[in-house]
Structure 1
Amino acid sequence: MEIGKKMALLVGCNYPNTPHELHGCHNDVLAMREILITRFKFDPKFIELLIDKPKNSIMPTGANIKNTLTKMIDRAEKGDTLFFHYSGHGTLINKNSSKQEEAIVPCDFNLITSADFRQLVNRVPKGAAFTILSDSCHSGGLIDKETEQIGPEKEKENGVNQDSYKTKEIPFESLLQYFTSLTNKINRDIGTHLLEVFGEDASIMFNELQPIEKKPLKPDEGILLSGCQTNETSADVEINNMDNGRKPCGAFSNAVQMVLKENRGPLSNRQIVMLARKILMMQHFNNQHPCLYCSDENADEMFLSPPQKTCHVHEI
């Protein structure tokens, strides 16, 4: 198969000067940008970078992230490689009394939900590869209905004292309190608040004017490499780095980057997750377990390589 374009969107949200401020997310995507260029031969002009530095003209808002991903998918053709790396907060939202849904939290808190990611995945053209690396809390279910290849750990060991790092999570109650202060509505339905604040830019999960596509998945669609299990949190930490000394970073992003630097040959999605797990265990992050959800075929597809037969979506 002819190798096509390589395109990437890298998003790092540190939420500066807020109660939820993180410190390593900008570093995560800047380091990944270098790896994409030097190891995977991405052309810098096809790498979009969105980080929430105060003076940036284009910020990683929910609308900007979704619009950029949509444009990237619209340009994609058979044989292309697409990559989305997100480092920032995640959350679990109460869709109704019996079900919670995973979401990432852009800098303006305009949540991008599993329904939005499902719709994006369904639009990827056949024969294109779409990899999503999500270093955020509760990231195990960002794409639904995928086969579990590397799943939850049944037993957890004692890990790093949580006081020594920040979790990449904004609890649902904190989000609800924030939006209630904006809308002055006493309502536990987060969708009501999101629609009032963001209008048509709110997640399709809550927007009845943009119905969620019910397109069934084909066997080879959707690869999710998640930073942790759905019921776990991911860590924002300082880790000693041989090249740059001690620096803030996301524990999972850093582990993936270490795997790529220490193993120069091609690595499959399965190998990336298993090796990243080993690194997190060596660093005593025993309560954070990256997972892999995808078809049997895609589990052994090479990370950030064009699909050999059909359309693939990789999500980390």
Structure 2
Amino acid sequence: MTKGLEDLTVPDNAGADPAAAPAEPAAVSAEPAVAEPKPSPAPARAPVKRALLIGCNYVGSRVQLAGCKNDTLAMAEVVAGFWQGAGETHWLLDPPNAEADPRPTKANILAELAWLTGDLVAGDQLFLYYSGHGKQVADTSGDEADGKDEALVPLDYVTAGVLTDDELGTALLAKVPAGARLTIIIDACHSGTVLDLPHRYYCNSITKDGKKPRKPYNFADWTSDTRESTEAALVAHYAQSGSIVFISSSQDEQTSASTIMAVDNKYAYRGAFTTSLITSLKENNFNIKNKYLLKEANCRLWIIGMAQRALLSSTTPALLDEPFVI
């Protein structure tokens, strides 16, 4: 058995003539030896920006929708406006932009959520957008007061099933460390608490004069009626997590509408909530607090005759007064 060279001690006079006179001992310096400086640890990686955009029209099925892909393409422009070319964006679309592109199946959604939340560090910024069907199913874990879980509906829901709020909590919310930020927008029926966060804000603003709302939206015409609901059991659960803001298109018992709407003089099927939200962002030059964005989106929904009301949830109350960011 051989030993590695690192285990073999070689004396200083190895290979010298044994008959030769010994060398004079080297002078001993009075100065202490100076230790070699240790190399600095590798710096932590720079923060990253990641976006996952999901739009599902369920083409060819009995539950086909018309505006979800349009909504997702519109939201991509918002992401580009915030990030100015930085970051990385992944897509799951039906119909896809190209035949070989991945579609929003349950397995693909879970795989992309794993990419979105993989190896996160403080400073990372994440964004998730979903436009598609949502539904309520029987609660199997006993954590819902109404006995129902909220769920997203993948393209292959018939064979693969839905994505419940419990699954999304494990695959998404639980992965965000302190110092990281995640913003989520979901345009789907029954989506109010499809992501269970401790602080929820309901905004049912009405016109100050009590009359039918008028176009265009004017901030001064509306009251601000925001109510908070806190899930005490979730407060401690998210005490050490990152900053998470989630805006849903409707409350748990409500449906979310899509209709033919004009954006930049182009008419197409679009989600009423997504269009109202993006319009509010644009008219405020993308600089608006979360609480005012919630208010304006709901006011615009009322102006166009929609009964649904958006809901904002967050990990801490302080996020309500912070600017909306992606």
The aligned residue for residue 47 of structure 1 is 89
Distance 1:222 1:5, change over 3 A: closer
SS of the residue corresponding to residue 144 of structure 1 reads coil
Q: Which residue of 2 aligns with 1:112?
A: 163
Kindly state the Cα deviation for residue 151 of structure 1 after the two structures are TM-superposed: 5.3
Instruction: State the partner residue of 1:147.
Output: 199
1:282 and 1:85 map into 2 onto residues whose CA distance is 24
Matched residue pairs, number? 245
How far off its partner does 1:46 sit? 0.4
- How far, CA to CA, are the matches of 1:41 and 1:70 in structure 2? 25
Which of the pair has more CA radius of gyration?
2
How far apart are 1:39 and its partner, in Å?
3.5
User: Secondary structure, in 3 states, of the residue corresponding to 2:83?
Assistant: coil
Mapping of residues 1-316 of structure 1, within 5 Å:
4-43=47-86, 46-53=88-95, 55-95=99-139, 99-109=147-157, 110-119=161-170, 120-150=172-202, 216-218=237-239, 222-241=244-263, 243-285=264-306, 287-294=307-314, 295-304=316-325
The answer to whether the 8 Å contact 2:203/2:294 transfers is: no
CA distance 1:71–1:262, shift in 2 (3 Å): same
Q: Is the 2:182–2:243 Cα contact (8 Å) retained in structure 1? A: no
The alpha-carbon deviation at position 125 of structure 1 amounts to 1.6
| Superposition RMSD in Å | 2.8
Instruction: Indicate if the aligned counterparts of 2:204 and 2:298 stay in contact, CA closer than 8 A.
Output: no
> Structure 1: which 5+ residue stretches go unaligned?
160-214, 306-316
Higher relative contact order (CA 8 A, sep 6+): 1
Inter-partner Cα distance in structure 2 for 1:95 and 1:152 = 28
Classify 1:145/1:85 alpha carbon distance in 2 versus 1 (closer, same or farther; 3 Å): closer
SS of the equivalent of 2:90 reads strand
The residue type paired with residue 240 of structure 1 is A
Q: Does the CA-based 8 Å contact 2:250-2:310 persist in structure 1? A: yes
Letter in 2 for 1:50: L
**Distance in 1 between residues matched to 2:62 and 2:212, nearest whole Å:** 27
SS of the equivalent of 1:275 reads helix
Q: Which runs of 5+ in 2 are unaligned?
A: 1-44, 214-235
Cross-structure match for 1:174: none
Query: Equivalents in 2 of 1:78, 1:6: separation in Å?
Result: 12
SS at match of 2:253: coil
CA contact (8 A) 1:153 1:289 kept: no
Q: Which amino acid aligns with 1:288?
A: Q
**TM-score, structure 2 as length reference:** 0.69
On the 8 A contact 1:9/1:84 being kept in 2, the answer is yes
Determine the C-alpha separation between the residues in 2 that align with 1:152 and 1:263.
Answer: 20
TM-score, normalising length from structure 1?
Answer: 0.71
Shift, 1:149, TM fit = 2.2
Contact kept in structure 2, 1:267 and 1:302, CA below 8 Å? yes
Q: CA deviation digits over 1:221-261, x for unaligned, max 9?
A: 543211011000001211122x1421111111111111111
SS in 2 for 1:141: coil
Q: Secondary structure at the match of 1:68?
A: helix
